[in-house]
């Protein structure tokens, strides 16, 4: 039964975000023409209303629904239903021991399933919510489905800052467990089309709110330890956190021998089909590398800021203007996914600055490369 394909698949749209090229696949069209995608702009409130109502219906029935957040697209299910949450793991092919983030539409909602919220955690919520910050808090026993937290005594919570996500959560009035809506191991989806690519046939509905703003997953901060500690860097940086709560710890990606505190961080992540290599950010070095790779009759893609376009690799995917790190964050996952549409043998990425959101970018790139560097 588990593998049976759902016959209904919609991409629906929300026009509050001034998205012009929206996709709409109606059930009937899908059945008739088998996956033909019709592009139409949806620009009246009644259509939006119907889409939200459909999403809420599906969630209440125990189905999964993909939706945009300000970071990446999430794949949601009602966090109190073990059966519904199991569908998330199944659709993504996600390891069972990797807990999910619970999304809420208001700060109040977390009281139903957390205990003893530390003062500093409250300060963080008051400062950064809604926004790209996930807090690991003590779980109130027997409140959420066990598979949400993978049996841990803690739970990750976040209130997203996205008009579609918030509207959905406010209508539903229930916490939603949602990991990123990608196939496990692949880069997180920053567009509805990415979700469709990875999960087509496996989930009934994608709410399309256009490209996500930040493009990298939320910062995860652990309040279950003595000193609050960043488990996953993201849009809310260490400096931003320290400004409001003082000293914050950090689990270094190089701490390979330590048991990973965020269980998800031990798995392969963000990986295109071809191997990714980090390289020194010098035009000369990258040119040398490309020559070397070409000498071996291999094809190379470069993912880098525009200044590297002059290096004649076989493919170039831009991360925007040099040192515009928020643009690089926004473009990174699309670029990694673009590589999978090519016949490259190797992907080179000149490293970026670790300032600000650069910490999060380099964290994802080090994982995508599995720590590999190209030396010529
Ligand atoms: O921006 C985001 O956070 C996106 C959007 C959809 O909200 N979600 C997301 O979820 O990235 P996911 O499942 O792909 O990543 C959640 C991370 C994983 O590394 C997981 O191990 C960690 O958070 N995590 C969740 N609950 C945890 C807990 N109780 N203790 C430690 N780590 C936890
Ligand atoms: Mg993920």
pLDDT digits (tens, 9 = 90+) for 154-213: 999 999 999 899 999 999 999 999 999 999 999 999 999 999 999 999 999 999 998 999
| DSSP output for 35-85 | SPPEE-----HHHHHHHHHHHHHHHHTT--EEE--SSS-EEEEETT-HHHH
Mean pLDDT of all residues in 315-344: 97
Residue 212 Cβ < 6 Å to ligand 1: no
Q: What is the pLDDT at residue 261?
A: 57
Please list the residues that pair with 137 across neighbouring strands: 155
Q: Which of 89, 97, 134 most suits a substitution to test ligand 1, by most atoms within 8 Å of the C-beta?
A: 134
Q: What's the pLDDT tens digit per position in 103-122? A: 999 999 999 999 999 999 99
Residue 190 Cβ < 6 Å to ligand 1: no
User: 151: CA distance to ligand 1 center in Å?
Assistant: 14
Q: Which residues contact 32 (CB under 8 A, 6 or more apart)?
A: none
Q: Is the pLDDT of residue 22 over 50?
A: no
Residue 251 Cβ < 6 Å to ligand 1: no
Q: What's the pLDDT tens digit per position in 289-299? A: 999 999 999 99
Number of residues written out for the chain: 376
Give the ligand 1 atom nearest the CA of 75. 6
Higher per-residue confidence, 21 vs 204: 204
User: 69: CA distance to ligand 2 center in Å?
Assistant: 13
Q: Which residue owns the Cα nearest ligand 1 atom 20?
A: 264
Residue 185 Cβ < 6 Å to ligand 1: no
Of the pLDDT bands very low, low, confident and very high (cuts 50, 70, 90), residue 1 is: very low
- Check whether the bond before 123 is cis (ω within 30° of 0): no
Q: Which of 85, 94, 101, 138 most suits a substitution to test ligand 1, by most atoms within 8 Å of the C-beta?
A: 101
Task: Give the E-state strand segments of 143-275 in sequence order.
Answer: 154-158, 176-177, 205-208, 219-222, 229-232, 249-250
Mean pLDDT of all residues in 25-40: 29
Residue 216 Cβ < 6 Å to ligand 1: no
Q: Which residue owns the Cα nearest ligand 1 atom 33?
A: 262
Mean pLDDT of all residues in 336-359: 97
Q: Which residue owns the Cα nearest ligand 1 atom 32?
A: 262
Residue 169 Cβ < 6 Å to ligand 1: no
Q: What is the DSSP letter of 296?
A: T
Burial class (CB within 10 angstroms; exposed 0-12, middle 13-18, buried 19+) of 186 = buried
Give the ligand 1 atom nearest the CA of 231. 32
Q: Which residue has the tokens 């010098």?
A: 282
Q: Residues with beta carbon < 5 A to ion ligand 2?
A: 179-180
Task: Report the SS3 class of residue 373.
Answer: strand
Give the ligand 1 atom nearest the CA of 74. 6
- Are the beta carbons of 238 and 230 closer than 8 angstroms? yes
First CA to last CA distance, the chain: 51
Q: What is the DSSP letter of 265?
A: G
Residue 189 Cβ < 6 Å to ligand 1: no
Treating both helix axes as pointing N-terminal to C-terminal, what angle do 238-245 and 119-128 enclose, rounded to 10 degrees?
A: 120
User: Which among 265, 251, 255 is positioned nearest to 185, based on CA atoms?
Assistant: 265
Task: Report the SS3 class of residue 276.
Answer: strand
The C-alpha atoms of residue 22 and residue 17 are separated, in whole angstroms, by 11
Task: Report the SS3 class of residue 234.
Answer: coil
Residue 182 Cβ < 6 Å to ligand 1: no
Q: What is the pLDDT at residue 265?
A: 61
Mean pLDDT of all residues in 302-319: 97
Give the ligand 1 atom nearest the CA of 224. 30
The C-alpha atoms of residue 269 and residue 246 are separated, in whole angstroms, by 31
Q: What's the pLDDT tens digit per position in 70-87? A: 999 999 999 999 999 999
Q: What is the pLDDT at residue 61?
A: 96
Q: Is the pLDDT of residue 53 over 60?
A: yes
């Amino acid at each position: 039964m588990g593998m049976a394909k759902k016959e209904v698949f919609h991409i629906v749209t929300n026009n509050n975000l001034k998205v012009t090229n929206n996709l709409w696949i109606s059930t009937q069209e899908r059945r008739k023409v088998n996956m033909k995608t019709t592009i139409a702009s949806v620009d009246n409130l009644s259509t939006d209303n119907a889409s939200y109502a459909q999403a809420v219906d599906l969630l209440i029935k125990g189905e999964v629904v993909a939706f945009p957040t300000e970071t990446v697209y999430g794949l949601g299910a009602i966090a109190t239903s073990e059966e519904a949450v199991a569908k998330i793991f199944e659709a993504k092919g996600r390891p069972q021991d990797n807990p999910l983030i619970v999304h809420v539409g208001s700060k109040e909602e977390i009281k139903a399933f957390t205990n003893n919220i530390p003062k500093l955690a409250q300060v963080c919520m008051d400062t950064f919510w809604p926004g790209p910050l996930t807090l690991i808090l003590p779980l109130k026993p027997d409140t959420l489905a066990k598979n949400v937290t993978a049996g841990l005594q803690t739970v990750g919570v976040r209130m997203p800052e996205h008009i579609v996500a918030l509207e959905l959560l406010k209508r539903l009035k229930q916490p939603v467990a949602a990991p990123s809506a990608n196939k496990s191991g692949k880069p997180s989806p920053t567009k509805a089309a990415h979700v469709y690519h990875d999960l087509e046939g496996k989930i009934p509905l994608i709410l399309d709110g256009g490209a996500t703003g930040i493009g990298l997953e939320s910062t995860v901060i652990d309040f279950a330890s003595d000193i609050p500690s960043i488990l996953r860097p993201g849009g809310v940086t260490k400096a931003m956190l320290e400004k409001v709560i003082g000293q914050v710890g950090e689990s270094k990606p190089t701490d390979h021998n330590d048991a990973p505190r965020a269980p998800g961080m031990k798995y392969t992540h963000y990986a295109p089909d071809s191997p990714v290599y980090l390289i020194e950010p010098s035009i000369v070095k990258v040119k040398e590398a490309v020559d070397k790779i070409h000498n071996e009759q291999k094809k190379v893609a470069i993912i880098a800021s525009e200044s590297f376009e002059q290096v004649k690799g076989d493919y170039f995917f831009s991360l925007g203007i040099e040192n515009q790190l928020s643009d690089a964050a926004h473009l990174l996952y699309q670029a990694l996914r673009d590589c999978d549409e090519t016949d490259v043998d190797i992907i080179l990425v000149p490293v970026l600055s670790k300032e600000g959101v650069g910490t999060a970018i380099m964290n994802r790139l080090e994982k995508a490369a599995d720590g590999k560097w190209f030396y010529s």
